[in-house]
Structure 1
Amino acid sequence: MPGKKSPGPSVKDKELYEKLRDEGNSKEKSARIANEAAGSSRSKVGKRGGRAEDYEERTVGELRERAREIGIEGRSKMKKSELIDALRNH
């Protein structure tokens, strides 16, 4: 089995990045989490947030707006469940 390709110089915690990728997270999400963890206490990374309402409680319009903000393609044709899945797996 060939070795894993380097995530590039912009990823600060390559070990955490690879672990997150192995768990099935996207490249962008893995890099974002790995860089945040490298720049602060790892325990703080998971404790931030918690202020946003659940995706299920949002309207389709709100979900499409969030999808637009983060660049999800094909959002205008997605159903609510598809938008939620795309947002969670981005």
Structure 2
Amino acid sequence: MSQDHGKSVKNDDQYEALREQGASKEKAARIANADNPGQKGGQSDPYEDWTYEQLYDKAQEIGIEERSKMDKAELKRALRSH
């Protein structure tokens, strides 16, 4: 039986499984809290429509290092892999 992670994690079993697979706490929580984590629906990534400034601000918000040296494509890749 998995632990109860309180209100910070919606799906405790999924969180535990992701942690056992090596996912970071942040990534496991983000996926376990998603409404439909596996559903892409053929839609393009929302970053495609973002401006450089929006991408940079989001990278700053989540703490991506060396973002000031990145161009728009690099920022999108860094945000997707975070």
The question of a shared fold, defined as TM-score above 0.5 by the shorter chain, is answered with: yes
Shift, 1:54, TM fit: 1.8
Give the corresponding residue for 2:16.
14
Structure with higher RCO (Cα < 8 A, 6+ apart): 1
Unaligned runs of 5+ in 2: 39-44
Give the corresponding residue for 1:56.
48
Q: Which runs of 4+ in 1 moved over 6 A?
A: none
Unaligned runs of 5+ in 1: 1-9, 38-43, 48-52
Q: State the alpha-carbon separation in 2 of the partners of residues 32 and 57 from structure 1.
A: 22
Shift, 1:85, TM fit: 0.5
Give the fraction of aligned pairs with identical amino acids, expressed as a percent. Answer: 48
Letter matched to residue 37 of structure 2: G
Q: State the alpha-carbon separation in 2 of the partners of residues 33 and 55 from structure 1.
A: 18
Shift, 1:89, TM fit: 0.7
Give the corresponding residue for 2:28.
30
Instruction: Assess, with a 3 A threshold, how the Cα gap between structure 1 residues 76 and 83 changes in structure 2: closer, same or farther.
Output: same
Root mean square deviation of aligned Cα = 2.9
